[in-house]
């Protein structure tokens, strides 16, 4: 047990005759570590993008509510009458009349 620990610390397992399988394993572990690091970076990017997009959605929703409220106020009859009064138009005093179109039989 003591000898195998010293062999690992000294690195003699990398220069022995059968060290090719050890190098393959080390290379395999290195590739796995690089894949894991890349995967974690892409996951972090996605998390940041999701948080940025959710913040944008909240801002757009609040902007939508504000614009909708302004639209509802401008569509009110009193607002329309006030805006038309500035242009010199007044609401009609007489009610509108229906126009009936009668088709003649041929």
Could you give the number of structural domains in the chain? 1
Alpha-carbon distance 8 to 26, whole Å? 13
Residue 46 included in any domain: yes
| DSSP 8-class letter at 105 | P
Q: Answer positive or negative: Cα dihedral of 25, 31, 35, 38.
A: positive
pTM for this predicted structure? 0.55
The tokens of 69 are what? 């409220």
Q: For residue 19, tell me if it sits in a domain.
A: yes
The answer to whether residue 16 sits within a structural domain is yes
Q: Is 98 inside a domain boundary?
A: no
105 inside domain? no
In this structure, is residue 104 part of a structural domain?
Answer: no
For residue 105, pLDDT over 90 is answered with: no
Q: What range defines the domain where residue 71 resides?
A: 2-86
1-33 pLDDT, tens digit per residue, is: 777 777 777 777 777 777 777 788 889 999 999
13, burial (CB in 10 Å: exposed 0-12, middle 13-18, buried 19+): middle
Average pLDDT score, the chain: 89
Cα separations (Å) of 74 from 40, 77, 97? 51, 8, 27
């Amino acid at each position: 047990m003591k000898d195998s620990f010293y062999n690992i610390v000294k690195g003699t397992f990398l220069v022995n005759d059968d060290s090719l399988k050890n190098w393959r394993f080390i290379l395999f572990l290195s590739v796995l570590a690089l894949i894991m690091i890349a995967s974690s970076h892409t996951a972090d990017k996605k998390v940041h993008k999701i948080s940025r997009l959710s913040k944008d959605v909240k801002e757009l929703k609040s902007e939508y509510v504000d614009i909708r409220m302004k639209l509802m106020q401008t569509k009110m009859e009193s607002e329309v009458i006030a805006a038309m009064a500035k242009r010199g138009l007044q609401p009609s005093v007489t009610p509108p009349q229906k126009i009936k179109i009668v088709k003649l039989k041929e």
